[in-house]
Amino acid sequence: MRDVAGDDAITSRYVWEVIVSIIRSYGYEEIGLPLLESTELFSRGVGQATDIVEKEMYSFEDRNGKSLSLRPEGTAGCVRACIEKGLIFNQTQRLWYEGPMFRYERPQRGRYRQFQQIGGEIFGVPGPAADAELIQMASSMWLQFGIEHDVSLEINTIGSSAARASYRAALVEYLEPYKAELDGDSQRRLETNPLRILDSKSSKTQHILEAAPTIEEYLDDEAREHFEGLESLLNEMELPYIINPRLVRGLDYYTHTVFEWVTDSIGAQSTICAGGRYDGLVEKLGGRTTPAAGFAIGMDRVVLACEAAQSKMGEKIQYSSVDVYCTVLETRFMGWMLKVAQRLRTDMPGLRVRVDTGGGKLGNQLKRADESGARWALIVGEDEVDENCITVKWLRTDRGQSSVSVDSLVAILEGSRA
């Protein structure tokens, strides 16, 4: 579990802001969800035989002896909340949530025991348009971060639960004679969760799988139609994808579409966003049958991918927490500067204005202005106060500096925002 400070904190917040504004632009509404849920929610929802429930949850008994768990993911809790609040009965619902998730995994770069997700879930839409729109939404995030060339989309269908049950039986029958040659995890999964053997990292296991039956052979017409529908929407939107017949995902609730975005820029923990359709989960958790699909973005990994893209371009972190940095030549002008700064915040909502309240030499203040990543420094001295002007210094371009009237300051900053 990490502390996130300095540049990491700035980049994380920037990534958060971009993702949240894109999710909102698709008409998704926020839902706040608790960090603690009953353990049973996850064993029923995510699946008893999954790695998450078997060995990764932080579970404990509360004072009444009820088993609770820190949420390892958001979908089960979101579905529970929707059922309890009657949010998905006979209506389409698009929801997003965010916050920390907890998994007792072996920590490494990009894999933490507390990590941040932003998730989006859509309820009530059975067709592939919902899946395609989720994919489009994520891809517009990568574009916004400039990492679109560093990521690729893998998709697959795992069909209906009936198709999966027949496939599961066929896979077990095929693998049984090779049991002794499989890696340890796969031997165990042969009994508990055989589909997960498909994404085993062992090359020997992968070699054995080469001749194994594929889910494709077990799909019914409905599953094929759904997947073809998704493919044609992705083609029409010109969103490139790879069909990965081995992609099954580690959570049991999926049906039909599953997808993952992977990147080779951040090391072994390469999936930055994952999701799929889960038409049976609402019913399984006590609601009425409701088609549903969603994804979760691994925020920590997206931050790593953004940082990797920047260092590839040889750029310093460009995400800053400040737009305008205000300096004064002498402390007696501080009151005047504080007023101008406040006016800017009011007239340009969202603009981040920092006043160097520390004072000292102008040179030192401007150095701090530069380090803050601000685009503009404002400088105030006697002449400026006398003439109701302000000196604007462009910190990221070669435009230099000029003295402008306070009344025209907003227009000038707006004009040079790009």
Site of interaction with ligand HAM (CB under 6 A): 73-75, 103, 105, 110-112, 115, 117, 119, 121, 250-251, 271-276, 278, 294-296, 298, 300-301
How far is it, in rounded angstroms, from Cα 272 to Cα 93? 24
Q: Tell me the closest approach of the beta carbon of residue 10 to ligand HAM, in angstroms.
A: 19
User: What residues form DSSP beta bridges with 211?
Assistant: none
Structure tokens at 154: 């893998």
Q: Considering the complex, what minimum distance in angstroms separates the CB of residue 145 from ligand HAM?
A: 14
Residue 277 C-beta: closest distance to ligand HAM, Å:
8
Nearer to ligand HAM, 113 or 352 (CB): 113
Instruction: Look up residue 316 and give its DSSP letter.
Output: P
Q: Both tokens of residue 272?
A: 């930055």
Strands 151-157 and 255-263, bridge-based pairing: antiparallel
With respect to ligand HAM, which residue has the nearer C-beta, 47 or 276?
Answer: 276
Output the smallest distance, CB 84 to ligand HAM, in A. 18
* Residue 324 · residue 312 · CB < 8 Å: no
Rounded CA gap, 321 and 340, in Å?
Answer: 19
- The closest residue (CB) to ligand HAM is 298
Nearest residue (CB) to ligand HAM, 110 versus 159:
110
Closer of 273 and 341 to ligand HAM (Cβ): 273
**DSSP, residue by residue, 352-388:** -EEE-TT---HHHHHHHHHHHT-SEEEEE-HHHHHHT
Determine how β-strand 376-380 pairs with β-strand 324-328. Answer: parallel
| CA pair distance 21, 34, nearest whole angstrom | 22
CB nearer to ligand HAM: give 105 or 148. Answer: 105
- The Cα–Cα gap between 218 and 167 comes to 6
We find the least distance from the C-beta atom of residue 348 to ligand HAM, in angstroms, to be: 35
Please state the closest distance from residue 200 (CB atom) to ligand HAM, in A. 17
Q: Which is nearer to ligand HAM, 119 or 373 (CB)?
A: 119
Rg of the Cα trace of the chain? 26
